[in-house]
Amino acid sequence: MSFRLHKSNRSIKVLSTFWVLAMAFFAFPSLAEQKQTLGEWDVHYIVVNSTFFEPEVARQYGIQRSQFNALVNISVLDKETQKAQSVAITGQATNLIGNSKKLTFKEVKEGDAIYYLAQIPFRHKENYRFDIDVRHGNSSENLKFKHEFYVD
């Protein structure tokens, strides 16, 4: 019985971490996330330090926790219906001296929500320009944004 309780608590902790991220993503737009309307999509994006996640949540989703590692989280919604879209996402991040890092996105489905997660290592106060391609069928859009990283 205690094993089931532990497993249940673990599942609750995993879900609560993603709910916190989702709430930050949508409930506090001016503080937590950015959004760009690209064609028929509303593209929401946020960059968070990987230490934001509890160790067991990070393990479950293959996230390397480190004060020098961040997670790029992108969600693509239909502009009219606001339903999550399953898309192909590729991209890269380039720092101010021109060093580029390829971003490898992993699709995560949580109920009706779809997130695309990519990890990126960084140094304190390092600035990156993100260039991300979003594709679905014949539609293709480009998301560009900048982010300055800080070590927790």
- Residues 44 and 71: beta-carbon distance below 8 Å: no
Q: How far is CA 66 from CA 16, 120, 141, in A?
A: 21, 11, 31
Spatial separation of the C-alpha atoms in residues 48 and 150, rounded to whole Å: 10
Identity (one letter) of the amino acid at 15?
L
Q: What is the pLDDT of residue 152?
A: 77
Which pLDDT tens digit goes with each residue over 96-115? 999 999 999 999 999 999 99
Kindly report the average pLDDT of the chain as a whole number: 84
Of 148, 115, 150, 116, residue with least CA distance to 130: 148
Which pLDDT tens digit goes with each residue over 54-72? 999 889 889 999 999 999 9
Return the CATH class of domain 2-148. Answer: mainly beta
Q: What is the pLDDT of residue 61?
A: 87
Q: Whole-angstrom distance between the N-terminal and C-terminal Cα of the chain? A: 38
Residue 78 has pLDDT above 60, yes or no: yes
Residue 86 has pLDDT above 70, yes or no: yes
Which pLDDT tens digit goes with each residue over 29-54? 444 569 999 999 999 999 999 999 89
**Choice between 150 and 29, residue whose per-residue pLDDT is larger:** 150
pTM over 0.75: yes
Q: How far is CA 113 from CA 33, 46, 60, 129, in A?
A: 16, 15, 18, 26
Return the domain boundaries, the chain. 2-148
